[in-house]
Amino acid sequence: MTNSTISAAPAAIQWIGESDGFLRLIDQTLLPTQCVTIDCRNVEMVWEAIKMLRVRGAPAIGIAAAYGVVLSLHDAGRHHSDSPSAAARTAADYLATSRPTAVNLFWALDRMRYLIAAHPQGQAGLAEKLLAEARAIHEDDRLMCRAIGRNGAELIRDGATIITHCNAGGLATAEYGTALSVLFTCQDQGKQLHVYADETRPLWQGARLTAWELTQRGIPTTVICDSMAAHVMQTRSVDAVIVGADRITARGDVANKIGTYALAVVAKHHGVPFYVAAPSSTFDLSLVDGADIPIEQRDPAEVIAPYGHRIAPSEVEVYNPAFDVTPAELVCGLITERGVISPVNRESIAEHFKQP
């Protein structure tokens, strides 16, 4: 691991070298007090980084997994029974077990599987082709996030106050993020903003990561407890809520970090527009009802002993879903790289994706 200063933070995801290179990630579990990079040199290290949230955010874990498939070819030659293509297929299946909710993970791995299937004998050059595809996934996400920012910025006035939840910035994607891309683009356009960042328990992605990204950019930011968002909307002028997503169904139900649903209900009550920013890779058009989205259950220790500090009796039962589902009727608009979907329903989403 290597340390770097907060003011000169590296990119969240970097591939170093060519097909025999390695994947470098910011270990997000240590932010904001330390900015440390980890070098993943095999598939197991990438799986662990995804599972333990060293890399997190739906687009980012898809990108990392794609690079993980490339790493599988480093070890293929050590096992005579494994051809390069077989090793890559095995790696894709293994990486798919790391986290269940974010559909971008499976979208990226399916792209890698498609390429592997086109080279069933693992012909020479497979490693280079897989790396090129992983880099294309990385670049596609960067471009989609920039376009999301441009489309979303049109919805936000100069001087606006925004509430966001969890982290949907550059740490969660290839570059600008999804929800935060809207804010960063507004800043690029000269708009002044103030952001309330929900702390996002139990892992504090809002306080640790979103607040860090926003302050890096010089955007005025106030961290609030998740339970304070309703009070803020009741007593202060809030122009919009903007969040990211891990999976969006064909009718617009949205799976995002736990606490998003409550925020959407409160926004609806107070007449505050609730927007979800996500690339097309986050849509799962094979699912209609949000109840069918698999919800990851995480370690009880994250709730009762965060970062090793026990705050509840060890005998207590713990329910720790990582995500909740916000029904489509609570979403004012879905901001994608293609534009803004509003109203949010099955028909408008289908029409949106018919566009070239």
Active site residues: 246
- How many CA atoms does the CB half-sphere of 280 hold within 13 Å? 15
Paired tokens of 62: 């898809």
> How far is Cα of residue 287 from the mean position of the Cα atoms in its chain?
19
Q: How many CB atoms lie within 10 A of CB 17?
A: 9
Nearest-Å Rg of the Cα atoms of the chain is 20
The answer to whether 287 and 293 are in contact (CB under 8 A) is yes
3-class secondary structure, 349: helix
The answer to whether 164 and 196 are in contact (CB under 8 A) is yes
Smallest CA-to-CA distance from 72 within 119, 115, 131 is with: 131
Beta strands 35-40 and 160-164: pairing type?
A: unpaired
> How far is Cα of residue 114 from the mean position of the Cα atoms in its chain?
23
Measured in degrees and rounded to the nearest 5, phi and psi for residue 341 equal: -90, 115
